[in-house]
Each structure stands twice: as C-alpha cells, then as structure tokens.
Structure 1
Amino acid sequence: MTSKISPHPRVRFAPSPTGYLHVGGARTALYNYLYAKKNGGEFILRIEDTDEARSTEESLRGVVDDLVWLNLLWAEGVDPKTLKDVGPLGPYRQSQRQDIYKKYADQLLNAGKAYYCFLTDEEIEKQREEAKAAGRSPHVNSPYQDWPLQKALEHIEKGNKGVVRFKTRGLAKDYTLNDLVRGEVKFPSDMVGDFVLLRSDGMPVYNFCCVVDDHLMKITHVFRAEEHLPNTLRQMMIYEGLNWPLPEFGHMALILDEDRQKLSKRKGAVACGLLKEEGYLASAVLNFIALLGWSHPEGKEIMSVDDMIQAFDISRLNPSGAIFDRVKFKWMNAQHLRALPNMELWNAIQPFLAREKMELPQDPVWQDKSITVFKPYMEILSDAIELYKPLNDKSYVILPEAEEAMKWESTKAVLTAWKELVSAHTSDYMTEEEFLKIQDEVKNKTGAKGKNLFMPIRVAVIGKPHGAELKILVPLMKKDSLIARAEKALAQL
C-alpha cells in the first residue's frame, strides 16, 4: 500500500460545514474509514469552509457530532469537543490556510503556469454569448494570459482587482485517470478553459484548495462521490503544474431514491441527525449505507463495523447508482435493535420515553421484562413511545372511540366483575395465564362474550376498545393501576 506520497494509506473526509451531514456524506466518510482501517492507514477529517457566507460553527458542530455518533473517529483533524486542530499537518480548516494557498498560487504565477486576469463579469458574459452563438465551447479567452507578471502586479498596485487563472493553453490533449471504481476515464484537455485558482478577494476556489491540502496532508487515496468527477481534470492539471504526484482516485456512485432520482430530503429524512432523532441506531445506519454501492463477498447483509473492515475491498465498489430503500433500512434497523441486550435497549429508548414525560417503574426486573415483551414490535427506537404509552398511568384517558362499548347493557357487569377479580388477585402483577383465567371468569360471571367481553375490558385497561393485545400489556401493569383505571371506567358509565 506504499506510494510516492506516504508509506501507508492516508485518506480524508472533507465536509463543508454549510448544513447537515447527509447520508451520502456519511457513506463517503465510512468508505474512507473502512479503507484506512483495513489497510493500516489513517483517516483524516478536513473542513472545507472557504464558503464564508454559508459556513457556520453550528453546522460544523453538527457534522462533527454526527460523525462521533456514527463512531467514525479520525486520527487527525478538528478535535471533536473543542474543534481545535489535532495532528501535525494542520490547520485542518481551509479558512485558516489562506497564506498556504497564496504561496502555491505565487509559485504557479512565477512559473508562468498561472496569470492575473482582469476581465470583468460583463466582459466574460459577452465572450460566453459570442462563443455560444458561434458554436464554440464557452471558455474564457483572456487578453491578460500573456502579460508579464510584473505588469500585472503594477496593475494591481494601482487598485485594480484580478483573479488568478490557471493557464491551460499548450497542455496535453488528453488526460487519463485510472479510477479505482470506474476504470479508465479520459478527459480532453480542452474540456475546460483557463480556470480560476484565487478569486479577486484572494479567496481560493475548491479545486485549488483541494489539491494543495491533499498534497500537504499526504493523502494517498481520494474516495468521493461521482459528482466530483468533473472536478478531477482541473485537479490533475494543478498537480501537474506543481510537479506533485497524483493520489489515486475512486469516484463512488450516487445514492438514488426509489424513483431513481438523486436522493433528497423531500422523500424523508436523509440527515444523520434526523435519523438519530427518529430512533435509528448508528450501527444500522452504517450497515445500511455500506451496502449502498458495496457488497460483502459472501453476500452478508447484517454486519458490524468490524465485519465490514475485515471484508472491505475497493474492487467491490459498484459504479452504478444505489437505491435508498427505506423499507429495507427500517428492517435492517430492526435486526440491529433486536440484537441488543435488553438493558442496553432500555437505555437507548430512555430519551424517547423522557420526551413524552412517561412515568414507568424503576425496577430493573420490570424494565428487562418489558423489553422482552416489546422488542419484537420495535423497528426504530421511537416505536417505544406508542408501545409504552398504555403503561403510563398519567396518559390513561377514556377516548371518544370507547363511547359505543361503554353504552352496551352488559358493560357495567363486565367492568364490575373485572375490577373485583383483579382486586382479589394475591400479587402485585399477574402472569399472562392468570390474566386469561380472570378474563374467562368475567365471561362466566356475566355471560358476556366476544366483543361485549373484550372491548369493555380493553377500555378499562387502555382507554379504547382496540389496540395492543391485553395479554401482553396486563402482565406489565401493577394491580393498583388496573383497579384505578377500572374505577375511572365505571365512573364514566
């Protein structure tokens, strides 16, 4: 795995802190992380925050927190708590590297491989319109490309502002990239005109920052989304212009929704933070996104991160678009959730139950038992809310949908018998068998059967005539609670 750049692989994830961490970004981070771990390399987090207008500390904090939640931890980059630099090759935030970019822009200017251009936006637009009308590529044709550097600097000293452009005239006709995912990709050099390296305010553009940072941070492999493929020609030209070795590139397929369109938040949560809020487990998110473009050699579907590290191989990345199947995602989350030890799952659902201000028994034996009962019905952690709600005495109310059952002639006798038999029960909790036995006794005492028997009892337990099976719920409810609820139901008759 050695290269001219570093004796061991160095990969990076380089988000822009202009919004949330999208699942596509999380997948890029994951593949880089897996490659580093599999090959004894280093995973670096670099922050691409040169878009001053849109980059925020809040977004950076969110992206970093999401990566920590996913446990995709980096060897170098910003500290997850303080956001200060950690590592020998910083700064790791592009906004703090402007002097570095200026140094290498000057190097290209002095070598005649770049030049100052003073074309106005209006002049550039006029050129583009003329080129379009003539059927030519709308590349900038700058009258300043042959100005001596000294002349350009004197022009700047007079108060004129110019961008720094990379000179593409006279470069090789074709550039060939041996992409690790897509195979051989050819770029004609006339695909781009003289492109900007530094804006007129001195702020560097993405492609220039990217090359300088990847080289100085000794990045050996660049794994990123397919949408970056068009940037690669410009980056190859800059590497060549600075006489730097090229890292290896792999461009991964886009993630598509069920309609084969680029995944967007219009169809549901695609932000890692929202997935966490909905109750997806980090382990399931990683498992699911790993399979959006990569497959396990043995066809395994349910995997831990260690399983993925062991099996990860770039040759198994698929260049075709991967479908984000939300039904499968939920199913996969359910597999991870049900594999958790009971008390670990109990702790995981606590924030969701607390959000609803539920008051539930603090007894670990009860908690363990309740998880055993409800685990098969949970797909995501937030499912616990509806499952546990009937057990929360404070949320017991008799709903309008119970009105019909409460009017039946036999209901009062059923509720009275139910209350008396529960009151006579000798322990705080009853088993499923004991509940079924009591239900049969109510039937024998009152002669009620079918819905005339079950619905009033259900109203007395959960406040409505339809819902979860009582043989599941009642064994989790204290005798006192069942009596108090039965009294409320009787009082409403």
Structure 2
Amino acid sequence: MSSAFSEVRVRFAPSPTGYLHVGGARSALFNYLFAKKNKGKFILRIEDTDQARSTEESLKMMIQDLKWLGLNWDEGPHPETLKDMGDCGPYKQSERQDIYQKVALQLLEAGKAYYCFMTDEELEAAREKLKAQGLQPHVESPYENMSLAEARQKIQNGEKAVVRFKTRQLKKDYILNDLIRGEVKFPSDMVGDFVLLRSDGMPVYNFCCVVDDHLMKMSHVLRAEEHLPNTLRQLMIYEGMNWETPQFGHISLVLDDDRQKLSKRKGAVACDQFKTDGYLPEAMVNYLALLGWSHPEQKEVLTLEEMCQTFSLDRVNPSGAIFDRVKLKWMNAQHLRALPNDQIYARISPFLMAAGLSLSTDPEWQVKSVETFKPYLEILSDAVALYSPLDDSKYEIAAESEEALKWESTKPVLEAWKELVTAHASEVFTEADFLAIQDAVKNKTSQKGKNLFFPIRIALIGKPQGAELKILVPLMNKTSILARAQKALEKC
C-alpha cells in the first residue's frame, strides 16, 4: 500500500435505481472481506447523480439487503436514519455538487480542462467526418485553447458549455497494475477530450468517482470488470489533479450457466427475492464469496468470520464466475441443517405464519417437527408444504380422492382405521404405532396395496398421494386423526 494511505479504505458505491443485484452484492462482499482482513474501513457511498432514476425507496431497499447479508459499513448513510456516519461525507453524490464544481474549477484554471460550446449537431458532424477519414471519432473542439476569461464571458452571455478534460497533449501509455488482472495498458489516444461537467453543471460518473475516491481517502478500488474501460479517464484525472492513485482490482462478472451476464430470465437475481424465497443470509454470502474466490484449503461451507480471516485478492479468479442456482440451494441446505432445531423453527416461523398455518405452540413439538422435516428442507419456504398437512383447518378431501372413496373396500378400511386409532392408549403415536395399526387394518380387512394405503392417506391428508405418513403421524394427535377419519367416512 502506498505511503499516501495510512489505512486500507474501500467502498461499495451503488446507484439507488432498483434492487441490489447479486453481482453488486458480491462486489460489496469482496470489499467488506478485504477491509476486515486488512483491519481497514468499509465505506458505503451512494452514487445518486441520476436524479430521474434514483429514489430513496431504492436506497432503503439496498441498505436493508446489505444489512440482511451482514455487510455492515463503517462510514456512509446510517442504516436507519440515512444521516451521514463518518468524517468524509457527504456520502451521497447528490449532496456533493459544490465539491465537484470546485475541483472542475481547479482543472480549468490549471489549463487541464476547458469550456466547450459545441452543440450536439456540431459534435455529431465532427465525429462523422473523422469516421469517414478512418480516424477515431474523438472530439477535437475548436474551444480547446480558448482563454478562460473569454469562455466565461460567453457563459455570462447565456451560452451553454460542458467542461471537457484535455487529452490530446498526453500522448503516452497509462499502465494499470491491476490487483486481479495484472498489467493493463491503456494508450492515451483511446479516448478524446471527455466531459467532466455537463452543460447543466451536473458531473459525469468518471469525474465524481475520482473526486470522491480521493477525498474519501480510498486506498483500493475493487469493482466489477465492466468498469475497466472507465479506468483510463480516471487515471488521467488523478494525474491532472496530482493526486495519489489508489490500487485498482477489477472483479470478473457473474454469469448465468450459458456464460452470459446474469439475467432475470433464468431466475432470481435480486437479493431481496432470495430473501423472500427463504435463503439464509449466511448461505448467500458464503456462496457469493466462492463466485470467483476460493478458500486456501478449498473449504466450501464457511462462516463470514472464516471468510474475513482468509480472504485475499491473490485467490480471486479473473475469469467469469458462473451463478449456479442448484449449488446455491445445496449451500443453503448445508447452513440451514447445521442450525439447532429451535433456531430452524424460529427461521421458518415467519413463512408458516405468512401461509396462514395454525400449528402447535409447544416448543417440544416444534423441535420434534424440525427434526422430522430437516432432511427435506433446502430453503425456508420449503417448510410451508411440509407443515401444511399438520394444520387441521387446512384439511380437506381433495377432488382427486373421489374415485378411491367410491371403492367398495374403502369404507371397511376407514372404519377399521378409526376403530383401531380410537383404541390406541395414548393421544400421540410413534412411527411404530402407526405401522402396527396399518398392519392391523390390513389383517382385519384383507386389503393391501392401494386399496389399503389410499383410504388411510385420504383419512390423514385428504388425498391419495403426498407426504410420507409415517413421519407425519407422530406430529399429529389422536383427536385430529379421528376428526379427519370421520370426514373421510362421511364422503364414502
């Protein structure tokens, strides 16, 4: 780390124009892990200069997602009040306009930038002319060498101008020693004189980014590889201001299984959707960390603390990372099943309540139910289908049961079932109790196969096929089972 930086400081700088995409979450996570590993600071900066698309609602959603993932920031908007925390604010670009104007003025006065009065039509005509000559369509403005006094007079007279950065005199290669990609060379003539401030005074992304990263004392800039083309302009601005350049690392894109950029077409891409579907935040961060990074011992199931201790950029792969939804679900199941049973029940409870299920409030029953269903749980929302058959208020005879209820053998089976359940000495049943009663019904009625099993299934869950009865019955009580058996008998 350069001596100009006294500590590791990194940032995640989203635009609040929608949900937090898993690609953005992965960038935030890598920055967070790098900061923690190096005892540095993780800063949240909000890039909201696109006033038309930026909303406070989106900002709140992003903050909720980052909090859900456990990626707590040291500086930036307070997670509840949105007021600034830290000494380098404001942390929203929309509140930093005066700062950008001052830096632009420094570049203008140093002769590194100029006011350009070219209209859109003039720009387009100039570009087309260069293209026709087989040249790069870089702007060559007639205003490049106009004196600042003359330009200001034109503005005072009501003319509109952008502020452009001068590039033609630079004529050299800019070398970036990327922390992930190695050496990247940018010839200066890759870009023409680029805009810093639009004619309405609004700053452009590359300018804001450099000003903010410098004034917020960023030592490292870790971001997605799609930002790599921005780096040349940013290096020029750092040089123009004689500012120390942070170290850059460009992280690979997150790709779908067809190696295209991650898309909603293939399934969820928003953190909020994964939360709604019942994924655990600890499983999400574990999986996202392994998209392009690997543990030194190749461990796969990791806590956030373990990742903070072992994360390093030399193990970050520059190749695109495939987002495998099947692997994510497997990862979630590992984290979920590793939790104590009472904690699992606490996590699934909101999903059971949202589905309107009325279930036992007995803690012993809850722990027993989790022990029963845990092997079948991959995500929290799976619990709804597993627990639904246990809610008496949800019990109903499905239309698909009608045929089996009309069989001549069904009524005797149900009567024998009800009689033997009634005779059972306890209010609860073990799996062995259930199997013994089922065998007794078989012996008493001489029925077997579907003639035996379908009526009993209908009497317990309302349909001839579905959940495994021997695991359900121990979670039910005699009163409930008899009430259901009577409803089934009434349909015969």
Verify the 8 A CA contact 1:330 1:380 in the aligned structure 2: yes
Structure 1 counterpart of 2:16: 17
SS in 2 for 1:260: coil
Alpha-carbon separation, structure 2, partners of 1:304 and 1:78: 26
Structure 2 counterpart of 1:116: 115
How far the C-alpha of 1:481 sits from its partner, in A, is 0.8
Alpha-carbon separation, structure 1, partners of 2:204 and 2:378: 44
Structure 2 counterpart of 1:464: 463
Verify the 8 A CA contact 2:173 2:187 in the aligned structure 1: yes
Alpha-carbon separation, structure 2, partners of 1:134 and 1:485: 85
Verify the 8 A CA contact 2:171 2:189 in the aligned structure 1: no
Verify the 8 A CA contact 2:16 2:47 in the aligned structure 1: yes
Structure 1 counterpart of 2:318: 319
Alpha-carbon separation, structure 2, partners of 1:91 and 1:471: 61
Write the deviation string for residues 150-208 of structure 1: whole angstroms up to 9, x where unpaired.
10101000111111000101114110000000000000100000000011111101000
Write the deviation string for residues 296-323 of structure 1: whole angstroms up to 9, x where unpaired.
1111111111111111111001000011
Verify the 8 A CA contact 2:415 2:489 in the aligned structure 1: yes
SS in 2 for 1:109: helix
**Segments of 4+ moved more than 2 angstroms:** 2-6
- Structure 1: give runs of 5+ residues left out of the alignment: none
Verify the 8 A CA contact 2:398 2:463 in the aligned structure 1: yes
Write the deviation string for residues 424-463 of structure 1: whole angstroms up to 9, x where unpaired.
2222211111111111111111111111111110011011
Alpha-carbon separation, structure 1, partners of 2:367 and 2:417: 28
Alpha-carbon separation, structure 1, partners of 2:13 and 2:426: 60
Structure 2 counterpart of 1:227: 226
Judging changes above 3 Å, is the alpha-carbon distance between structure 1 residues 172 and 136 closer, same or farther for their aligned structure 2 residues? closer
Write the deviation string for residues 232-259 of structure 1: whole angstroms up to 9, x where unpaired.
0000000000000000000011111010
Alpha-carbon separation, structure 2, partners of 1:344 and 1:265: 32
Q: Which deviates further from its counterpart, 282-291 or 121-130?
A: 121-130
Q: TM-score when scaled to structure 1?
A: 0.99
SS in 2 for 1:24: helix
Structure 2 counterpart of 1:38: 37
User: What letter is aligned with 2:157?
Assistant: K
How far the C-alpha of 1:420 sits from its partner, in A, is 1.3
Structure 2 counterpart of 1:373: 372
Alpha-carbon separation, structure 2, partners of 1:126 and 1:242: 32
Structure 2 counterpart of 1:359: 358
How far the C-alpha of 1:404 sits from its partner, in A, is 2.0
Structure 1 counterpart of 2:149: 150
Verify the 8 A CA contact 2:283 2:331 in the aligned structure 1: yes
Structure 2 counterpart of 1:3: 2
Verify the 8 A CA contact 1:5 1:218 in the aligned structure 2: no
Task: Provide the aligned length of Structure 1 versus Structure 2.
Answer: 492
Alpha-carbon separation, structure 1, partners of 2:425 and 2:85: 63
Structure 2 counterpart of 1:442: 441
Is 1:94 the counterpart of 2:93 in the alignment?
A: yes
Alpha-carbon separation, structure 1, partners of 2:322 and 2:7: 33
Alpha-carbon separation, structure 2, partners of 1:165 and 1:351: 55
Structure 2 counterpart of 1:186: 185
How far the C-alpha of 1:378 sits from its partner, in A, is 0.7
Is 1:274 the counterpart of 2:273 in the alignment?
A: yes
User: What letter is aligned with 2:344?
Assistant: L
Map 1:31-430 onto structure 2 (within 5 A): 31-430=30-429
User: What letter is aligned with 1:248?
Assistant: Q
How far the C-alpha of 1:3 sits from its partner, in A, is 2.6
Alpha-carbon separation, structure 1, partners of 2:195 and 2:3: 28
Verify the 8 A CA contact 1:333 1:380 in the aligned structure 2: yes
User: What letter is aligned with 2:160?
Assistant: K
Verify the 8 A CA contact 1:49 1:95 in the aligned structure 2: yes
SS in 2 for 1:346: helix
Alpha-carbon separation, structure 1, partners of 2:427 and 2:217: 67
Verify the 8 A CA contact 2:355 2:384 in the aligned structure 1: yes
Q: Which deviates further from its counterpart, 423-432 or 286-295?
A: 423-432
How far the C-alpha of 1:4 sits from its partner, in A, is 3.2
- Structure 2: give runs of 5+ residues left out of the alignment: none
Alpha-carbon separation, structure 1, partners of 2:423 and 2:120: 88
SS in 1 for 2:43: strand
Alpha-carbon separation, structure 1, partners of 2:73 and 2:156: 44
Verify the 8 A CA contact 1:280 1:380 in the aligned structure 2: yes
Verify the 8 A CA contact 2:17 2:54 in the aligned structure 1: yes
Alpha-carbon separation, structure 1, partners of 2:16 and 2:41: 22
Alpha-carbon separation, structure 1, partners of 2:456 and 2:19: 48
Alpha-carbon separation, structure 2, partners of 1:395 and 1:30: 42
User: What letter is aligned with 1:92?
Assistant: Y
User: What letter is aligned with 2:10?
Assistant: V
SS in 1 for 2:17: coil
SS in 2 for 1:229: helix
Q: Which deviates further from its counterpart, 51-60 or 128-137?
A: 128-137
Q: Which deviates further from its counterpart, 433-442 or 238-247?
A: 433-442
Verify the 8 A CA contact 1:11 1:222 in the aligned structure 2: yes
User: What letter is aligned with 1:309?
Assistant: C
User: What letter is aligned with 1:76?
Assistant: E
Q: TM-score when scaled to structure 2?
A: 0.99
Write the deviation string for residues 364-409 of structure 1: whole angstroms up to 9, x where unpaired.
0000000000011011111001000101111111111112211211
Verify the 8 A CA contact 1:430 1:475 in the aligned structure 2: yes
